[in-house]
Structure 1
């Protein structure tokens, strides 16, 4: 059994990657996110700011997964490329923050970024059950 999913045009998929990457850059390097009262509350073992990193990099890796879905590389190489790009982007953001007087490089944030990027790896096990259908073919 396969599930049919729409495949948007390549330019739109890569625009989504750029949008998510740009949002991460803007909120991480250009401006510091405002402190909120909930930032100081410890609801779990993982602080809220680490959850934000995890979700942001899962979103980045997720858009990369969708953008690269038509690549002809082997599944493992595509997965490795997607995760590596997201992790390296996270490391680059952390290094970029070190040059800002109000920000700092955090290994904890870099680990949270990497864990978020790794959350997309189960997709590559499920991918064989998915068929992508070009949305333009449905418009004709």
Structure 2
């Protein structure tokens, strides 16, 4: 029973997050606003955050499943990038949307920024932030 609870606690969040990404990708594109640059920046920032969070949740699940830290970091990025690729393929079946290599590169950037910029520097963060990380079992 304890094993199932641990599995759900750490692996359910990345699965649910991936499902959320899939759901958002299933919506047809809304007409671009008059403020194209602002719209573009908002959407690409969302990509960075979506895949950064996915990579972080994957890292959290792996590290708490006994996978070594460095390996967890790399695997989290690789899995997030592969998911980003499959998401772009999925978008090719959604009306008004299509796959874009640029989006995969932005997704990759998000995963790398979150994993190496945040998770990779946990020990260098202020004590208050370390306490938050500890509550979520990141280390």
Cα RMSD between the aligned structures?
A: 3.0
1:113 correspondence with 2:107? yes
- Change in 2 beyond 3 A, CA 1:132/1:49: closer
Q: Which has a greater percent of helix? A: 2
TM-score, structure 2 length as denominator? Answer: 0.73
Q: 2:53 aligns with which of 46, 59, 72?
A: 59
Cα distance change on mapping 1:37 and 1:100 into 2, 3 Å: closer
- Alignment counterpart, residue 16 of structure 2, candidates 6, 19, 23: 19
Residues 127/133 of structure 1: CA separation in 2 closer, same or farther (3 Å cut)? same
Shift >6 Å, 4+ stretches: 128-131
Larger radius of gyration: 1
Unaligned runs of 5+ in 1: 1-7, 136-140
Match of 2:42 in 1: 48
CA–CA distance in structure 2, aligned partners of residues 99 and 73 of structure 1: 35
TM superposition score normalised by structure 1: 0.72
Aligned residues: 125
Task: Identify if the C-alpha distance between structure 1 residues 112 and 133 changes in structure 2 by more than 3 Å, giving closer, same or farther.
Answer: closer
